[in-house]
Amino acid sequence: MKSNAICAIATAKGSSALGVIRISGDNLDSLLSHIFTKKLSDRRAVLTNIKVNNVIYDNCIVILYCAPRSYTGEDVIEIITHGNPVIMHSIIELLCKNGVSNAAPGEFTERAFLNNKMSLEKAEAVSDLISASDIQAVRAAQNSLCGKFYDEVNEVLSCIVSLRAELETIINFPEDDDTPDLIIKKITEQVERITLLLDNILINSKEGRSLNHKRTYAFIGKPNSGKSSIVNCLLREDASIVTSIAGTTRDSIEYELSINNKIVTIVDTAGIRATQDKVEIEGIERSIKAVLKADKIFYVVDVSRGLDKDDHAILKNYNITNYDIVFNKIDLEGLEPRVIRKSPSEIYLSAINNIGVDLIRDRVEEDFIQVEKVEDLYLARSRHVDHLIDAKECINRCPSHISDCKYDILAEDMRNAHIALSSILGQNPTEELLNEIFMSFCIGK
């Protein structure tokens, strides 16, 4: 596939010791050799200046990977620069002046997929590996990337292909058949094997999907209840502004919090109350969106005021169902920090004194999934599980088709199971699906 050259900074934003710029396209050596003071050579690290019109952009390590032995299957150049964003952006500008365009998110991996360097679920695993929120998710993504998921899906696919071939023979040449009993026995055994393999993949994929999900916890409640104070305690820094003025937080603000080496998202939100203030109304609407996005709500109440009818109205009107009530400001009532487990559970703490805030960390930790045998998992996505369920539904219908000797209907269900499983690996993907998958990547990957 002929394609224009693309480039992107592949390292994170900001200053660092080193920065990496990635370029992919056809005939990169002839397109760009004039900007390097040394000749590049395939798969060799070359220490060279990037120099044009006597301006030295940087002294860097440059590696050329000639097509097709590269990540994308095209020529790829990786430039390792000093990690100053000014240097990296000036090199990107230089590349763009020389016929290279800025890469879209995930475009390198999309090209790798389109050039048959990797199947679709492996391309997805690249993105999942980068965003994995704990070590188990990292291991599971690595399993997918090494082809464990691909191999297992492929094994079922080959069983389905051979059964489909047999069914075609039975349907087209009924006179050549073995006795009906023998056919039924043979086909039943094959369907049983497919069912067994599929069940196993489905269990592992469902577990893998839950590992892939970074959980979100939103702090919701009336103004002044202490949401921002609790969030700041959890973050152990003054990230959110805290004042005694009700309505201080005007927007939903997301933070990443690491609890026991697992990253979760916590959201500080604007206090909910009836107001005429336009900015506050907008903030409250964002709080409602945060409710919808969250896996769980910590509903914060000033314990000295108690859970009143306004709180009940908020819980009801915003359809908040999965929540703990956090009674903050226990110092005002002389209460002890504690958790009362019931439905909903209650957590008593004092953010201002940082007493009992760890109880929230403990509650979050209770939600962590403990996976016994991570070596069996792959970091699956909902898309994969949906296709596996589609395939499973087709296979589940097979035993009754066999006993009714309805081989043409059986063949049709096998065909549909085949399509569902092929879709996981990205055989015949739609453009929309590819856009959806690759747009969620970071730029430079």
Q: 139: annotated binding-site residue?
A: no
Among 19, 226, 356, 444, binds ligand GTP (CB under 6 A): 226
DSSP E strands: which ranges in 269-395?
296-302, 323-328, 338-340, 346-348
Binding positions for ligand GTP, 302-331, rule CB under 6 A? 328-329, 331
Instruction: Measure the CA–CA gap between 272 and 312, rounded to whole angstroms.
Output: 12
Instruction: Give 211 or 284: the residue with its C-beta nearer to Mg ion.
Output: 284
Instruction: Give 119 or 249: the residue with its C-beta nearer to Mg ion.
Output: 249
Q: How far is the CB of 275 from ligand GTP (least distance, A)?
A: 11
Half-sphere exposure of 134 (CA within 13 A, CB side): 23
Q: 184: annotated binding-site residue?
A: no
Q: 117: annotated binding-site residue?
A: yes
* Residues 262-301: x where in contact with ligand GTP by CB under 6 A, - otherwise, as a string: --------xx------------------------------
Q: 334: annotated binding-site residue?
A: no
Site of tokens 């063949």: 411
What count of other Cβ atoms lies within 10 Å of the Cβ of residue 353? 13
Q: Name the residue whose CB lies closest to ligand GTP.
A: 271
Main-chain phi, psi angles of 250, to 5 degrees: -110, 0
Select the binding partner of residue 209 from Mg ion, ligand GTP, none (C-beta < 5 to 8 A, by kind): none
Main-chain phi, psi angles of 356, to 5 degrees: 85, 0
Q: How far is the CB of 124 from Mg ion (least distance, A)?
A: 37
Q: 345: annotated binding-site residue?
A: no
Q: How far is the CB of 301 from ligand GTP (least distance, A)?
A: 10
Q: 222: annotated binding-site residue?
A: no
Residue 229 engages Mg ion in binding (rule: CB under 5 A): no
Token pair for 255: 């933070």
170 sits in the region (left: phi over 0; alpha: psi -120 to 50; else beta) called: alpha
Q: 226: annotated binding-site residue?
A: yes
Instruction: Give 229 or 423: the residue with its C-beta nearer to ligand GTP.
Output: 229
* Residues 249-268: x where in contact with Mg ion by CB under 5 A, - otherwise, as a string: x-------------------
Stretch that binds ligand GTP, among 89-97, 173-181, 210-218, 236-244 (CB under 6 A): 236-244
Residue 265 burial by CB count (10 A; 0-12/13-18/19+): exposed, middle or buried? Answer: middle
Q: How far is the CB of 416 from Mg ion (least distance, A)?
A: 52
Q: 263: annotated binding-site residue?
A: no
Residue of 58, 26, 62 lying closest to 41 (CA atoms)? 62
Q: 245: annotated binding-site residue?
A: yes
Token pair for 219: 């702090």
Q: 199: annotated binding-site residue?
A: no
Select the binding partner of residue 376 from ligand GTP, Mg ion, none (C-beta < 5 to 8 A, by kind): none
Instruction: Measure the CA–CA gap between 211 and 411, rounded to whole angstroms.
Output: 35
Residue of 356, 308, 311 lying closest to 331 (CA atoms)? 356
DSSP letters, 200-231, are: HHHHHHHHHHHHTPPPEEEEEESTTSSHHHHH
Among 81, 109, 190, 228, binds Mg ion (CB under 5 A): 228
Q: 247: annotated binding-site residue?
A: yes
Angle at 138 between CA 263 and CA 322, to 5 degrees: 40
Among 135, 203, 281, 332, binds ligand GTP (CB under 6 A): 332
Q: How far is the CB of 258 from ligand GTP (least distance, A)?
A: 22
Q: What residues contact residue 173 under an 8 Å CB cut-off, 6+ apart?
A: none
Q: What residues contact residue 414 under an 8 Å CB cut-off, 6+ apart?
A: 160, 163, 164, 167, 394, 398
Binding positions for ligand GTP, 337-366, rule CB under 6 A? 350-352
Q: How far is the CB of 292 from Mg ion (least distance, A)?
A: 19
Axis crossing angle, helix 180-211 with helix 148-172, rounded to the nearest 10: 160
Stretch that binds ligand GTP, among 5-13, 95-103, 241-249, 309-317 (CB under 6 A): 241-249
Q: How far is the CB of 279 from ligand GTP (least distance, A)?
A: 12
Instruction: Give 284 or 402: the residue with its C-beta nearer to Mg ion.
Output: 284
Stretch that binds ligand GTP, among 129-137, 210-218, 238-246, 418-426 (CB under 6 A): 238-246
Token pair for 63: 């590696």
Select the binding partner of residue 295 from ligand GTP, Mg ion, none (C-beta < 5 to 8 A, by kind): none
Residue 243 engages ligand GTP in binding (rule: CB under 6 A): yes
225-229 long-range contacts (CB < 8 A, ≥24 apart) are 225/271, 225/300, 225/301, 225/302, 225/328, 226/300, 226/302, 226/328, 226/329, 226/351, 226/352, 227/268, 227/269, 227/271, 227/300, 228/268, 229/328, 229/351, 229/352
Q: What count of residues does the chain have? A: 445
> Which residues sit at the interface with ligand GTP, rule CB under 6 A?
221, 223-229, 242-244, 246-249, 270-271, 328-329, 331-332, 350-352
Applying CB under 5 A, which residues contact Mg ion?
Answer: 228, 248-249
User: Which positions make up the binding site for Mg(2+)?
Assistant: 228, 249
List the binding residues for K(+).
Answer: 224, 243, 245, 248
